Chain A
Amino acid sequence: MYELFHQILTGLSQGGIYGGLALGLVMVYRTTHHVNFAQGEFAMFSTFLALTLIQAGFSYWSAFFLTIAISFAGGMAVERIVIRPFHQASALTLVCVFMGLLMVTNATAGWLFGYTMQPFPSPFSDAFALGGFIPAHEAGTILLVALMLLLIYLFFRFTWLGLAMRATAENGESSALVGINVGAMLALGWGLATGIGAVAGMMAAPIVFVDPNMMSGVLVYAFAAALLGGIDNPWGAAISGFIVGVVENIAGAYLVGTELKLTLALAIIVGVLLIRPRGIWGRSFVTRV
């Protein structure tokens, strides 16, 4: 029983990482209807940025927020420079572009920062530990993802900008007609996604450590989470992240064995697509003739 409890808690903290990355995927999908295959690599790059800042003498939290800001701007720049020229291209073309981005980001990080694994600090002191049951950082990660989700909710629900972004995602043409700068909204969506990815990366880093391949193992789990929750639903993605983390751990420990953890994520993906392609909380989509 004690072990099961621990497996669940460990799964939750891993799920926080999956959920964070999935949240970024959903942000991009909502605004531009793309799935950013380079999302994990962007998060990795942001984490290296944070590490560089910390090593340069910044305090953790100043580096944390500075990294989010830079990543936000970087995400907007990538949308403007790389993605915008393809805004009417087919899904196929874009998948190829994202693969290109993935390779460029990964190799550039290796070139700039090297491939040797490096430690990354955690901001959470032992005060966060829930009665010794769960390590401080893991408890902190779960709380932070929840907080991030709340902020996103408030942003979309109560701010003009959030409303405009939702409108753009819903119907770009009509939004343009009511005076919304659609281009800016798309860039903003990318900025948000990259910023969220940066948080996910910085939360993952104390656990998985920092190197150019740190997120390569996470992306498939994030896909599973995003699809399970519904690719256009931020809540669904975050909650599914936790679900995937827990299911992965419990099934790995008791049912299918650790060799098949990744296969389990694949099974979730294929299963969702077969049974309920819009995910648990996603909206159904209609094809227009």
Chain B
Amino acid sequence: MTRSRSRLRRPAILALAAALLLSAGAAGLAPSPRAAAVPRKVTHLEPDALDILRSPGKFLRSTRRHVILRPDRLELLRGPAVVATLPFPGRSGASLAQVAGALAGTSQADWIQETAPGVFLLRVSLVQAPGTVLQAAAPAVRQVRLLDHPEVYLSAMGATARFTGVTVTSWDPRRGRPASNRGQRPFVEYADGSDLRIVGSTFAHLGSDRASAYGVNWRRSTGGATGSVFHHNFFGAYTYQSHGLVFRGNVFRDNQVYGLDPHTGSTRLVIEDNRAYRNRSHGIVVSEDVTGAVMRGNRSFANGGNGIVLDERSDRNTVTGNLAEGNRGDGIVVLGSSGNLVRGNLARRNRVGIRVNLRSGDNRIQHNQVSGNRVGIELYGGAYQARLLANVVSGSASKGLVLEAPGATSRDDRVSGSPIGVEVRAPARLRGTSVAEVGRGIVVTERGIAAVDDAAVRATTAGVEVRPGGLVRVRTSSIDSPTPLAGSPPRAVLGNRLTVPSGPVPWLAMAGVAYLVVAVALQLLHVSRNRTERGRSLREVPWGVAKW
């Protein structure tokens, strides 16, 4: 009996729990799931995608198959052994279609096969040797399918490749569609002096968490991508120690980790007018000594992590005119990076609009529009000497500016529409800062030390609030609040205009006064009439009695 009752009860409880969870979720009570950060488990392909050129001896015990495009021939290898050599003009810009055509008459014809007009299936790795040039361009080549196999890739050393109007994907022949990532998907890697240029193409469903096998990789290479789409890769596109790459007008979407990830010592990149969205982690992230990049006019939105990230000593970059919107993390993030210029961007509806932390110094945050974030601009946790200038921060759900970066300056920033306008948690200088439509204008916390000059604060609760232990100097500022200076007394107050706005209209008192005025007027009227009457009839009228 008991058992049967419990059986009955269990689904009911489950249903109740589900209903509660649903309602809580609907009410926004349940915490929204964080970005499903992909647990990283980096593995290595051994031998790697270039070893067939550098160290063929590593393949002694391997049966991995390669087609190597050399300047004057095609070499077909199984392990280290050459199974066929075909004369081929590899130096003069051969097409992938020609490569497949060259193999067609051999017993290795299925290694690279045209399965439909313009559709090529690579069942083995295609590797470009130094000095070769490969073209893949529509309509001769419309699709390049890399068989879903751990040892299939497209790689090169010191070679050149052009992909124009082509779709390159992994391929699962059993399902007749690109492969899902089981940890060993095919990938594209151009390395060591190669030049890979991608125009109007799509690279999708490539890569996995293997070193240098993340999707489409430029490794010590040049080139870039224009007007192309990178989607459902492990990383949309990745660079390593590559210089002067140009990514312009591309889409990086739905990738398993990052959209675009220039990495480790890549310099002087131009990342312009791209869109990065629905990537599971960050949209665009540069990390580890990526310097001198220009990131301009990009739109990074709806990503599971942050919109645009400068990470780990990525110094002296320019981030300008970008949109970072609706990311589950933050809009623009500077982490452990210094000397960057973040200017003229629009960051809205993120957790934090612009965030700087972790040993980040001398970054300039200027002329950005930051709206509708939980926190507008936040400097903390190792950031120092950040310089904010003329940013417009509005509608932050919690705080407009949070300054916990020693030596930070805020000049001519405009903050409005948040419970707290500016929170100063470390030494900081504010000059010409305008704070309006906030509950508390400038809050100096117990570890804050603020010099406030020429500020204009309009706050409904407190203008400048100093917590015990905090220090502040307020000079030549205009503060309009019921409590212009709240909390601990400032160290110095000089030349300020403190205004306490008039309270609500005291209607009751006004009614009382009006009554009195009317009564007095009536009485005067009565007295004057009475006097007139008295002059006529000399009749006394009792005081206070109206005569008309």
Q: Do A and B bind each other?
A: no
